[in-house]
C-alpha cells in the first residue's frame, strides 16, 4: 500500500507541475486581455485542489480554493484585471509550486502560505456570510458561454452526496465541456448540502447529455434546459458548435461484439507515463542492437553465407524500425520549455520597468529529450539578456522613434536535418566598438587581433568566456554573461550559434541543433592504422588532395576548393599518427560557424550509423572528441568534435 501511495504521489507531482505551466500561461493570456483564460485557470486550480484533497495535502487544497474564490470575483467582473492583480495571482502560483516542491522533497505540504492566502483574501467579497451565499436562488443562476444548463437532484437516501455529484460532473465532462458547477465542491462537502446542484456546459448534442444522466445511479431527477445565446454571440457560437461537434465525433460510442465502448476512455488507457530513466535504458539497448547488427553484417559479408545474409537483412529492417520508433518516443515538442518564458519575460520586464511583447512560434517543433533538456538553460540566458540588455526602456524607445513596447520573438522550425531555434529582439542591437574595446581590456584578444577581425567576428566575441560589457561591479551583468555557456552547450550537442545585429534595430541569435544526439550517421575515415568518425551533419563534401589543389601560404596549408582557399588540417599531425604512409590523401570539407575547413585523412572507409558513447571521467577533459563508438568488430572509434578540434583550444 505504501508503494502504491508513493506511485500516486509521483504521478500527482508530475501532473501538478504540468498544470502549473498551464496556469502561468493562462494568467499571462488573461493579463493580455484573453478572458477565456479565466475558465482554464478555474479548471486547473480546481483539478489541483481535487488531487491535493485526495492525497491529504490540506494546505495545498486550501491555497487552491482561495485562488479559485478570488478568480470567481474576477470572472464576475467584481475585480478589474490589472498587472498588480495578476502579480498577486502569480505569487499564489509560485506558492503552489513551492508547496509541490516540499511535497516532492519531504512528502509534506507544511509550507507557510498564510501571507499569500491573506493577500488573496483581500480579493474576496466581504460582508456576505456563507449562509447568504448558499441560499442563492439557483433557478436564477446562469453562466456566460454555456448553452445548456443541467439541474441535478440527488436522491435523499444518497449517503455521500458530494462524491456522487463529482461522479455526475465527471460523466458529463466525457461528452461536453464543463464551464462551471454551482454550488462548488467545497459547499457540496458540507453537511447541509441538499443534493441539488447545477452544471453549466457547452455542447452541440443535448441527447448525449440525457443519455449520460439517465445512466447515473442515486439521481432522483434531472432537468436539461437549453440557454438562449446573445445575438452578438451567434457567429462565435457557431464556431463553438462546430468545434464541439468535432470533439463529440472523437468521443462517439462504438459497438463491438454487442458491448458499447467509450472511445475517449480507450484513448486514456492507450497513453501511459514512462520514467525517463527507462527511456534512456531502452535507447542504450537499441544502441547495442545497432552495434550487433553492424557486426553481423560484417560477418555475413566476410564469410559470404547466403542464409546469414538473408536473416541479417530481415533483422536489419526490424532494428531500423525499432530504432525509429524509440527515437520518435524520445522526441518532445519545444513547447515544453518555451512555455516557461512568457511568465519569465513578464516578471523581468515588470521589474525593469520595460514594456515587452513576447511572441512564440513553432511550438510543435520536436527535439530529442536530451537535446531539449540541455538547451533549456542556455535559452534562459538568451531570453533574459534580450529583456535585460536588448530591449530599451519605454522612454529610450520613444526617443529613438520606436514604439514604447519592445518585441521579442522566440521561434523554432526544422530545416533539412537540423532544428533551428531563433531569438530576435527589436532593441538597441550590439555596439560592436564597445565589444571590441571590452574584449581588449579583458585580454580576450589583442589590439592587433581585434583590428584584423571582421564585424561578424567581433560580434561573436560576446560568446567568449569571461566577456562582459558591464561598466562597474554594481551594474547588472552585461549581455555576455552566460553567453559562453550557450555556445559551449550548443557545440557540445553538435550544433552551432550565429548572431546578427544592427545598431539601434535589434539582435538575432540563431541556434542550429541536430534533432537527436543518440544515434547519428557518420563518415568513417582512416589515418594510418587508426579509424575516426566524423558526423555527416558536419560534412559538406570530399575530394582528393593533389599537387594542384594543395597550397602552403606563409607556412599555413590550404586546400583550393572551387577557386576558394579552405584552411586545411592534417589529422595525422593533429593526432600524432606516425604509422603508415598514404598513397593518396583525401580532404573532408566540414563546416563550423559558416566557415569551411578541410580535414586531411588517408582515406574514407565507409558511411555508417553509429551509437555515441560519451566520454566520462578523465577522458571527458580531452578536446577534439565528442565521444566514441563501437564498430561491429568490437573496435572503439573516437568521434571527432569539429567545434573543439578547430577551436582556439584544439590539439596541435
Instruction: Give the count of alpha carbons within 13 A of 308, CB side only.
Output: 12
Nearest alpha carbon to residue 181 among 159, 208, 209, 162 = 162
**Residue 512 is a catalytic residue:** no
**Does residue 46 have an active-site annotation?**
yes
Retrieve residue 501's grid coordinates: 545585429
* DSSP-derived 3-state class of residue 13: helix
Q: Angle at CA 38, nearest 5°, toward 33 and 40?
A: 120
Q: Please state, in angstroms and rounded to a whole number, the distance separating the CA atoms of residues 556 and 566.
A: 11
* Sign of the four-CA dihedral 595, 600, 601, 603: positive
Catalytic residue among 366, 385, 389, 512: 385
Closest alpha carbon to 423 in 486, 514, 476: 486
Which position among 24, 26, 31, 68 bears the catalytic label? Answer: 68
Instruction: Write out the E strands in 479-536.
Output: 496-502, 506-513, 519-527, 530-535
CA pair distance 641, 623, nearest whole angstrom: 8
Beta carbons of 571 and 604 less than 8 angstroms apart:
no
Report the interhelical angle of 83-106 vs 114-121 (nearest 10°).
150
- Find the radius of gyration of the CA atoms of the chain: 31
Q: How far is CA 525 from CA 222, 538, 587, 628, in A?
A: 77, 14, 10, 14
Cα gap 126→128, rounded to integer Å: 6
Catalytic-labelled residue, pool 24, 26, 39, 46: 46
Q: Cα–Cα distance between 207 and 267 in angstroms, integer?
A: 23
- Cβ(56)–Cβ(125) under 8 Å? no
- Using alpha carbons only, what angle is made at residue 44 by residues 40 and 45, rounded to the nearest 5 degrees? 115
Closest Cα to residue 407, out of 351, 460, 340, 349? 349
My answer on whether omega of the bond before 104 falls inside 30° of 0, hence cis, is no
User: Is the distance from CB of 171 to CB of 163 less than 8 angstroms?
Assistant: no
Tell me if residue 185 is catalytic: no
CA distance 218 to 154: 6
Characterize the bridge pairing of strands 506-513 and 550-553. unpaired
Active site residues: 46, 68, 385
Amino acid at each position: 500500500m505504501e508503494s502504491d501511495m508513493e506511485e500516486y504521489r509521483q504521478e500527482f507531482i508530475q501532473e501538478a507541475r504540468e498544470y502549473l505551466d498551464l496556469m502561468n500561461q493562462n494568467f499571462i493570456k488573461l493579463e493580455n486581455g484573453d478572458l477565456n483564460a479565466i475558465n482554464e485557470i478555474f479548471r486547473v486550480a480546481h483539478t489541483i485542489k481535487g488531487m491535493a484533497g485526495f492525497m491529504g495535502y490540506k494546505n495545498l487544497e486550501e491555497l487552491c480554493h482561495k485562488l479559485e474564490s478570488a478568480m470567481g470575483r474576477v470572472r464576475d467582473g467584481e475585480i478589474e484585471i490589472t498587472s498588480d492583480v495578476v502579480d498577486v495571482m502569480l505569487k499564489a502560483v509560485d506558492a503552489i509550486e513551492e508547496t509541490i516542491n516540499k511535497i516532492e522533497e519531504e512528502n509534506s505540504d507544511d509550507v507557510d502560505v498564510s501571507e499569500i492566502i491573506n493577500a488573496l483574501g483581500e480579493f474576496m467579497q466581504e460582508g456576505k456570510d456563507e449562509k447568504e451565499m448558499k441560499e442563492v436562488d439557483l433557478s436564477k443562476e446562469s453562466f456566460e458561454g454555456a448553452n445548456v444548463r443541467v439541474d441535478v437532484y440527488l436522491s435523499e437516501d444518497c449517503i455521500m452526496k458530494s462524491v456522487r455529484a463529482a461522479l455526475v460532473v465527471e460523466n458529463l465532462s466525457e461528452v461536453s465541456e464543463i464551464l462551471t458547477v454551482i454550488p462548488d465542491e467545497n459547499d457540496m462537502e458540507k453537511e447541509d448540502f441538499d443534493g441539488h446542484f447545477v452544471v453549466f456546459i457547452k455542447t452541440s448534442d443535448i441527447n448525449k447529455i440525457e443519455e449520460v444522466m439517465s445512466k447515473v445511479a442515486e439521481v432522483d431527477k434531472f432537468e436539461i434546459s437549453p440557454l438562449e445565446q446573445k445575438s452578438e454571440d451567434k457567429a462565435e457560437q457557431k464556431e463553438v458548435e462546430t468545434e464541439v461537434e468535432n470533439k463529440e465525433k472523437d468521443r462517439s460510442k462504438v459497438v463491438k461484439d454487442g458491448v458499447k465502448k467509450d472511445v475517449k476512455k480507450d484513448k486514456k488507457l492507450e497513453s501511459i507515463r514512462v520514467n525517463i530513466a527507462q527511456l534512456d535504458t531502452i535507447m542504450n539497448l537499441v544502441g547495442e542492437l545497432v552495434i550487433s547488427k553492424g557486426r553481423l553484417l560484417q560477418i555475413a559479408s566476410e564469410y559470404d553465407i547466403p542464409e546469414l545474409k538473408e536473416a541479417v537483412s530481415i533483422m536489419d529492417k526490424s532494428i531500423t524500425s525499432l530504432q525509429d520508433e524509440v527515437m520518435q518516443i524520445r522526441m518532445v515538442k519545444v513547447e515544453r520549455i518555451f512555455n516557461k518564458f512568457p511568465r519569465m519575460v513578464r516578471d523581468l520586464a515588470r521589474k525593469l520597468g520595460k514594456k515587452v511583447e513576447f511572441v512564440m512560434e513553432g511550438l510543435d517543433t520536436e527535439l530529442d529529450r536530451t537535446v531539449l533538456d540541455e538547451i533549456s538553460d542556455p535559452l534562459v540566458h538568451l531570453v533574459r539578456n534580450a529583456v535585460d540588455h536588448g530591449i530599451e526602456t519605454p522612454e529610450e524607445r520613444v526617443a529613438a522613434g520606436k514604439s514604447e513596447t519592445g518585441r521579442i520573438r522566440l521561434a523554432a522550425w526544422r530545416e533539412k536535418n537540423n532544428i533551428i531555434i531563433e531569438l530576435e529582439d527589436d532593441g538597441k542591437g550590439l555596439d560592436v566598438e564597445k565589444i571590441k574595446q571590452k574584449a581588449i581590456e579583458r585580454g580576450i584578444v589583442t589590439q592587433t587581433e581585434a583590428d584584423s577581425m571582421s564585424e561578424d567576428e567581433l560580434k561573436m566575441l560576446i560568446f567568449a568566456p569571461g566577456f562582459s560589457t558591464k561598466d562597474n561591479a554594481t551594474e547588472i551583468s552585461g549581455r555576455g554573461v552566460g553567453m559562453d555557456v550557450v555556445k559551449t552547450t550548443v557545440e557540445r550537442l553538435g550544433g552551432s550559434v550565429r548572431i546578427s545585429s544592427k545598431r539601434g534595430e535589434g539582435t538575432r541569435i540563431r541556434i542550429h541543433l541536430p534533432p537527436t544526439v543518440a544515434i547519428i550517421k557518420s563518415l568513417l575515415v582512416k589515418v594510418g592504422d587508426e579509424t575516426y568518425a566524423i558526423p555527416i551533419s558536419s560534412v559538406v563534401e570530399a575530394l582528393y588532395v593533389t599537387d594542384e589543389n594543395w597550397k602552403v601560404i606563409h607556412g599555413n596549408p590550404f586546400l583550393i576548393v572551387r577557386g576558394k582557399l579552405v584552411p586545411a588540417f592534417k589529422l595525422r599531425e593533429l593526432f600524432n599518427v606516425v604509422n603508415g604512409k598514404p598513397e593518396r590523401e583525401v580532404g573532408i570539407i566540414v563546416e563550423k560557424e559558416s566557415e569551411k575547413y578541410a580535414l586531411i585523412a588517408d582515406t574514407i572507409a565507409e558511411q555508417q550509423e553509429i551509437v555515441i558513447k560519451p566520454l566520462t571521467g578523465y577522458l571527458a577533459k580531452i578536446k577534439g572528441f565528442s565521444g566514441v563508438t563501437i564498430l561491429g568488430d568490437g573496435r572503439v572509434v573516437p568521434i571527432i568534435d569539429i567545434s573543439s578540434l578547430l577551436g582556439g583550444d584544439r590539439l596541435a
